[in-house]
Structure 1
Amino acid sequence: MKQSSGILILKILGGYFLTTLVALICLFFVSAPQSFLLPEGIENPVEFIKGIGAVLLLGWILTSFIMAIPCAIFIVISEFFSLKHRLPYLIFGAGLGVCILYYNWLENLAHGRLMPFEDSLLKLTGLFISGAICGLIYWKIAGRNAGTIKQRMCSQNQKNGA
């Protein structure tokens, strides 16, 4: 069944925003797993949960903004070269997850803090796996149709030119 180009673009955007949400939740869980538990001494748990929701929403907006350029470059490359196999998406997602940790290392070094190796290894593993999962989620939503828009444009140009 052929889908319109608008539906394919919506799949690309929806896949991107869904994977940034999953990446944010994974990043939040890897960096602060105790935040998912209700701490002792909270008088109003409903307000605490609302606060966590607001933090996640703001974080999702920021994550979507920060990851826009590298993901857009990869999406354009995958559309141009019609990358329909899941392996490039898995590798890109895992690589982007590792880059997030590298950014965190640079930020800590800039402030004169060194992260312990065990903590870094745990975060590296968590971000590598969550990035790979996000890459597979994007592939499942939009990556399997990569190159369809380009093929349609080329076939339309051939029809118009012939």
Structure 2
Amino acid sequence: MARVMMILFAHCLACLGALASGVFLLVGLDVLKGAAEPEALAIAVGPMVLLGSLLLAGVQFIPVCLIVLLAEWRSLRGLRYYLVSGLVLGLVSSLGGIEYGKASGEDLLGVVALIYALSGLVWGVIYWRMAGRTAGAWRDALPPAK
């Protein structure tokens, strides 16, 4: 049960880190384009990251469960697996952002995909650091079958 709680906690913190990196990239782009004031955006970033990370953790829960189950089943502990998984997760998640960009008339396809991909990589590193390095370790601790 402790392993499951650690996995859920690591996923929530990884989503928080991924969303924070994505929001800071978007805010930085808006500030660089002169579309927003840095002071006004600083006020909005905190609630956006906290509430958005909860939403992201809920939306990506099923795909992340599949990633974690595969890692636990096959004892995949390498950073490369979590980076590729996070990248794919970010790019699949970017489909919603791309559709939003098309609906609002902005041509940000590459930027949105890049931000989501980088956020996915951040998710992969944070999750690997917290729980992925010991994936499948519970199987090593089981007593031998008689």
TM-score between both structures, scaled by the size of structure 1: 0.72
1:24 aligns with 2:19: yes
1:103 aligns with 2:104: no
Unaligned runs of 5+ in 2: none
From 74, 80, 83, the equivalent of 1:87 is 80
Give the SS at the match of 1:83.
Answer: coil
2:83/2:124 contact within 8 Å kept: yes
Shift of 1:126: 2.7
1:59 aligns with 2:52: yes
Aligned partners of 1:31, 1:100: CA distance in 2, in Å? 16
For residues 47-94 of structure 1, give each alpha carbon's deviation from its aligned partner in whole angstroms, at most 9, with x where no partner exists. x73x54333322122111111111111101100010011111000111
In the alignment of these two chains, the number of paired residues is 140
| 1:134 aligned partner, one-letter code | W
Aligned partners of 2:71, 2:19: CA distance in 1, in Å? 23
2:12/2:54 contact within 8 Å kept: no
Question: Cα RMSD between the aligned structures?
Answer: 2.6
1:10 aligns with 2:8: no
Larger radius of gyration: 1
Give the SS at the match of 1:156.
Answer: coil
2:97/2:112 contact within 8 Å kept: no
Give aligned-pair identity as a percent: 24
| 1:75 aligned partner, one-letter code | V
Give the SS at the match of 2:112.
Answer: helix
Shift of 1:108: 4.2
| 2:23 aligned partner, one-letter code | F
Aligned partners of 2:95, 2:24: CA distance in 1, in Å? 17
- Larger CA deviation: 89-98 vs 55-64: 55-64
Shift of 1:38: 0.6
Shift of 1:36: 8.3
